[in-house]
Structure 1
């Protein structure tokens, strides 16, 4: 069996959950002896730099960031079209929602992975460029749809016209489960810190979270909130931090490798995920794998994924957030209990399981 993947998730993303999902899936399928091809001449994606599937050519932004990205994207799309027209594959698995491929499939089946319905639920048009009608067309024409959680499947059935039996739920996994730090690897971090990972916009609830824990941080001046990735703080975030008098306790941290992120999880008091909504939440599994206690919103997919291995709060209740963050800082036995439960819970998620279930979906449509 030969599976063709396209360029979409990798052209403009150096990091990101969607790109990591497809990278890990392809690597696992290769290990299982499945024929995998990634149509991608140019990319700066970090996950592919040591890939056994494809190591694309890196590019510089010689025309400016957006113009260069657009040029590279169109070049990669042309390459994907060429690979589609050659037809040397059994199943096509696009990595995002552009519909360029529909006129080039030549009756070959395709599988579509749907990660979340955050755009639909919160009416956030900036998340992707695909309209509701365009997505409905792709969902109609896909041979099978992979939802990454039961929560995402329920959302798909709510927002789109789909037969439930067309959707297969296949959970994510995390490569951190088998990750080992180089001997002697260290990163300069605060002695005590809570860890926040990734983007901070809109539904991520960063502003509400920081506001909620301001009093807690003031009561624990030796504790910092470390925000890893997601870009530098913007003007509004700086103003918020200043207004709460948290300049010395809320810090941003750039990281460039999985080793660094692994270390940040490993040495944190806890990983906190205050998002209002997610499709799955790979950082939960990353934290489990690193022995990091997890504190989560009690919404969307989080209870489904973490079950009893996390401490939950209502993301809209400032007092509840403050109480749970205080508990995780002050209660060492609670932290140890969550770490042990996290190690147990992560056993339900593996790259091999994700790949095997996905391969079964491919086989089912041939």
Structure 2
């Protein structure tokens, strides 16, 4: 059996970084690459052009930003093609021990030869529910099946997601390792001088609001509470400005003065969590749910759907509702608004629960997967 080279070389590709400026998947891979470097692993990212915020501010990975001179989608697709060519060249040079693609495009299969690759599987929403929730990613179930079958190992971001993989794709359990996410919010230092203006009393919703995120039904459910408690507001952090459909619903419910959108970066988001009555996550299905950990880290009480991975991630450190029941949503939100002792208790439980999710753990467990794969492939 050949010995593994003393310095492990891992190659990652452009897929999660070309078009997305922010986003959980890009952040996951960026944090992983940096932390592995700090452990002496050589991590290389095959990309030339990106507007990704993590890369732009990075001392480790050098990319060129680009202007959307053809419009957003056509320009992103063009630079994606250029980055794919660059990735393909890196793959053919074979100067790596293991490849970890950052999404499901199969372009690399032609170039990888007998080098092993590991896949991270984030979310089974599309594969579980088909087109019910619209267009979530470009990868068909058949394509994912082919990649999952061919991969040396699969990382799932929760036990719930691991079970989905076993059920939907018939993957053997011992080929999948569940590694929970972590958040950099635990170590984020926001200067005291950095403050933002918010209403005195508000609920916080974070991120995208489309389809399975269940935002519109959630809004309908809490509208009576906003009317009942005129001082109460709902802040939506990130996810883009309200679209015409959302604006129309907000107006028709008569809550326009109490529902507001905030553009966010990490520091703004940190403060939004800190000052919120509670963070609410009404999604119908998720692979993990990093905002839960962000809320824990900032001492923000958490109210969640009782579905998918949420009970696994938050355990007893959250209040739960049935996301498909207006009554259930409304009752639990009213409970959290009125019960100061409950909010305090959830804050404390959140601080305790977050100890189970450390960036150190993510890196150590991922490194173990890489080492296992390389040992078996030599």
| Structure 1: distance between partners of 2:38 and 2:157 | 22
Of 211, 214, 221, 1:205 maps to 214
Of 178, 197, 202, 1:193 maps to 202
| Structure 1: distance between partners of 2:10 and 2:77 | 26
| Structure 1: distance between partners of 2:325 and 2:103 | 34
Tell me the secondary structure at the aligned position of residue 211 of structure 1.
Answer: helix
- Tell me how many residue pairs correspond in the alignment: 365
| Structure 2: distance between partners of 1:94 and 1:80 | 10
Report what 2:191 is aligned to: 182
Task: State the Cα distance separating 1:27 from its structure 2 match.
Answer: 1.4
| Structure 2: distance between partners of 1:228 and 1:55 | 29
Which is further off, 147-156 or 41-50? Answer: 41-50
| Structure 1: distance between partners of 2:324 and 2:330 | 11
Tell me the secondary structure at the aligned position of residue 335 of structure 1.
Answer: helix
Contact 1:209 1:321 in 2 (8 A): yes
Task: State the Cα distance separating 1:53 from its structure 2 match.
Answer: 3.0
Task: State the Cα distance separating 1:52 from its structure 2 match.
Answer: 3.8
Alignment of 1:192-341 (within 5 A): 192-255=201-264, 257-341=265-349
Which is further off, 60-69 or 123-132? Answer: 123-132
**Deviations for 1:327-360, whole angstroms, at most 9, x for unmatched residues?**
1111111111111100100001011100110000
Report what 1:101 is aligned to: 108
| Structure 1: distance between partners of 2:279 and 2:27 | 20
Of 84, 90, 94, 1:77 maps to 84
| Structure 1: distance between partners of 2:199 and 2:62 | 36
Contiguous gaps of at least 5 residues in structure 1: none
Task: State the Cα distance separating 1:128 from its structure 2 match.
Answer: 1.1
Which is further off, 117-126 or 64-73? Answer: 117-126
| Structure 2: distance between partners of 1:343 and 1:52 | 31
| Structure 2: distance between partners of 1:224 and 1:2 | 49
Tell me the secondary structure at the aligned position of residue 239 of structure 1.
Answer: helix
Task: State the Cα distance separating 1:123 from its structure 2 match.
Answer: 1.3
Tell me the secondary structure at the aligned position of residue 123 of structure 1.
Answer: helix
Task: State the Cα distance separating 1:133 from its structure 2 match.
Answer: 1.1
Report what 2:34 is aligned to: 27
Report what 1:51 is aligned to: 58
Tell me the secondary structure at the aligned position of residue 83 of structure 1.
Answer: helix
| Structure 1: distance between partners of 2:23 and 2:96 | 27
Of 156, 163, 186, 2:165 maps to 156
**Deviations for 1:112-149, whole angstroms, at most 9, x for unmatched residues?**
00011100122135111111111111001100000000
Tell me the secondary structure at the aligned position of residue 284 of structure 2.
Answer: coil
| Structure 1: distance between partners of 2:303 and 2:256 | 23
Moved beyond 3 Å, runs of 4+: none
Tell me the secondary structure at the aligned position of residue 99 of structure 2.
Answer: strand
| Structure 1: distance between partners of 2:99 and 2:23 | 22
Report what 2:3 is aligned to: none
Task: State the Cα distance separating 1:62 from its structure 2 match.
Answer: 1.2
Contiguous gaps of at least 5 residues in structure 2: 1-7
| Structure 1: distance between partners of 2:86 and 2:364 | 28
Contact 1:195 1:226 in 2 (8 A): yes
